[in-house]
Structure 1
Amino acid sequence: MTNLTVSNSTLALGFVLVLVALVIGYVEKLRINKDILIGVVRAIIQLSIVGYILKFVIKADDIWLTGACFVIIVINASWNAGKRGNGIPKAFQSSLLAISVGTVITLGTLVWTGSIKFVPEQIVPVTGMIASNIMVAIGLCYRNMMQTFTDRHQQVLEKLALGADIKMASLDILRDSIRSGMQPTIDSIKTLGLVSLPGMMSGLIFAGVDPVKAIKYQIMVTFMLLASTGLGSIISCYLAYKQFFNERKQLRNELIS
């Protein structure tokens, strides 16, 4: 098995890659250099802290610590997903339920089928993969829903006037929003192995695992992400669309203006 060593000096030399992005931002006057530097510093600090925490959790091998990591990941993902639905009432609560259900069902299925074991070194990273993927999907769902309700509010009003309930009047918007949340995952699946060698597969190959075994793990991850984005998208959309209507089943003008 290949031994990979990344020293502090290697990382320091690797910072030249960040300089490439900074130079592009400066030359093209993109005004993103501050964001790049803040992002890099935050990434270094956050990953360093998480690395030491994971080392402690994995060494302790305690079910309660593993559960605490799960809760922290889910709540943080829900908070960020909720912020992407800024303006939608109860966006955090909807995101929390969608991410919790999607993560529990997907993770539970993987453990039940024996794809992964209920140990912290497997549960915590996989939870992060699932929750972050659902978070991105929900953000896309919210963005699409807010835009399409604004664009099609007249159509929704006409359907309501003709006697349709709020679900029937919003059905096309619901379907478009769910599709927008799942589409990036579906698109990435189509190019697996042809354009990209995804993170888990590449990491295992780097670590010296047989590429055929690495492929099997990646296929499992693909199934996992497809299911989780589907669950997260449909739950969040069916909870969020109701927030565009008041208790009298009228469109809220403040959300579509």
Structure 2
Amino acid sequence: MSSAPEAGPLLGLVLFALAAAAALLTRLGGLGLGREVLVAALRAVVQLTLVSLVIVAVLRNAGLTTAFVVGMIVVAAVTAGRRITGSARRGTGWALLPIVAGVVPVMGLLAATTLVPSRAVAILPIAGIFIGGAMTATALTGRRALDELETRRGEYEGGLALGLMPRDAALEVCRSAAAFALVPVLDQTRTVGLVTLPGAFVGVLLGGADPIEAGTTQLLVLIGLLAIEAVAVLITLELIATGRLTRSGPGAG
């Protein structure tokens, strides 16, 4: 008997109820994200439905697998760039750099050491987890760093008055805030197995592997994410400090 929820009217009803509850709670709480919650839920349904329909063909073809991974990276860069600068066109190019710089070396290491089999069914899910982590770290770092530079503008200008270069003055202001982007992955790594059983661990178990294999896979994912997100945070911070990633609109710069 399958352990996955059965697709059907009941699943649709439960998903709708959960999304509606989340949207209502955020609206009643004054968070102003009710519409975004509903849109995100709808997009998830549509996107995962489409992916489910094409994933078999993707996994059977190395070229399609590569194109799929490249597509994930591009979407991640667009999302992070828009979150940081307020404009996908303005931010995507620079947001691509920390994501690629974090993900490619780690995936290359895992492939070169054959710790991850060179099969699409093994590479694709891990690449997706890594790309998602890099996207989140990039977006959080960029937003927090730019927020700090705006709210602590006086400290930044004070640093310039003391003779600091613009990059160094910006780093003094926003470095500590940017470090918070690593908190989610640090907490997840610290509490793995105690608070949560992450997706890679559960997925490998459901695929028929033994708990040791599932544990080693999850360790690769978690420690890999630490390295990837550290790279993404540092590169994004550098892009902010050197003025390459800035917000569009009146408050930019």
Same fold (TM over 0.5): yes
In structure 1, what is the Cα distance between the partners aligned to 2:25 and 2:65? 46
Contact 1:244 1:255 in 2 (8 A): no
Q: Percent identity?
A: 26
Q: 1:177 Cα shift?
A: 4.1
Distance 1:237 1:222 in 2: 22
Q: Is residue 99–residue 134 contact of structure 2 (8 Å, CA) maintained in 1? A: yes
Are residue 108 (structure 1) and residue 108 (structure 2) matched?
Answer: yes
Could you tell me how far 1:164 is from its partner in structure 2?
A: 1.0
Q: In the alignment, what sits opposite 1:198?
A: 198
1:6 CA drift (Å): 4.5
Aligned match of 1:45: 46
Using structure 2 for the length normalisation, give the TM-score. 0.85
Show CA shifts across 1:29-48 (max 9, x none): 63866555443332222112
Output one character per residue of 1:142-197: Cα deviation in whole Å (capped at 9) or x when no partner.
11111110122111111111211122212223422441221211111111111111
Structure-1 separation of matches of 2:13 and 2:213: 34
Distance in 2 (alpha carbons) for counterparts of 1:176 and 1:195: 27
Aligned counterparts of 2:55 and 2:111: Cα–Cα separation in 1 = 20
Cα root mean square deviation, aligned: 2.9
Give the secondary structure class of the aligned counterpart of 1:163.
Answer: coil
SS of 2:208 mapped into structure 1: coil
**CA positional deviation for 1:208:** 3.4
Match of 2:20 among 19, 22, 25: 22
Q: Structure 1 counterpart of 2:251, which letter?
A: E
Aligned twin of 2:85: 86
Q: Does 1:217 align with 2:214?
A: no
**What whole-Å deviation, never above 9, does each CA across 1:82-102 have from its counterpart, x for those lacking one?**
011125895322211111111
Q: Which has the higher contact order (CA 8 A, sep 6+)?
A: 1
Aligned partner letter, 1:75: V
Contact map agreement 2:26 2:33 (CA 8 A) in 1: no
Q: Whole-Å Cα distance in 2 between the matches of residues 101 and 28 of structure 1?
A: 35
**Residue 122 of structure 2 is aligned to residue 122 of structure 1:** yes
Give the letter aligned to residue 240 of structure 1. I
What one-letter code is carried by the residue in structure 1 that aligns with 2:234?
I
Structure 1 residue ranges without an equivalent (≥5):
247-252
Q: 1:93-152: CA deviations, max 9, x gaps?
A: 221111111111111111122221232222222221111111111111111111110122
Aligned equivalent of 1:66: 65
Quote the residue 2:56 is aligned against.
55
Change (3 A) 1:41 1:167: closer
Q: Which amino acid aligns with 1:229?
A: E
Residues 6 and 21 of structure 1, relative CA distance in 2, 3 Å threshold? closer
**Residues in 2 aligned to 1:157 and 1:144: alpha-carbon distance in whole angstroms:** 18
Q: 2 CA distance for matches of 1:80 and 1:25?
A: 21
Shift in Å, 1:229? 0.4
Give the Cα–Cα distance (whole angstroms) in 1 for the partners of residues 4 and 147 of structure 2.
47
Q: Letter of the aligned partner of 1:112 in structure 2?
A: A
Q: What secondary structure sits across from 1:195 in the alignment? A: coil
The amino acid of 2:158's aligned partner reads E
CA displacement 1:187-225 (0-9 Å, x = unmatched): 111111111110111222233322222111111111111
Question: What residue identity is the alignment partner of 2:125?
Answer: P
Give, in whole Å, the separation in 1 of the partners of 2:139 and 2:203.
27
Please give the alpha-carbon distance, in whole angstroms, between the structure 1 residues aligned to 2:85 and 2:118.
36
Q: Which has the larger radius of gyration?
A: 1
Counterpart position of 2:207 = 207
Report the Cα distance in structure 2 between the residues aligned to 1:79 and 1:219, rounded to whole angstroms.
29
After superposition, the Cα gap between the structure-2 partners of 1:4 and 1:86, relative to the gap in structure 1 and judged at 3 Å, is same
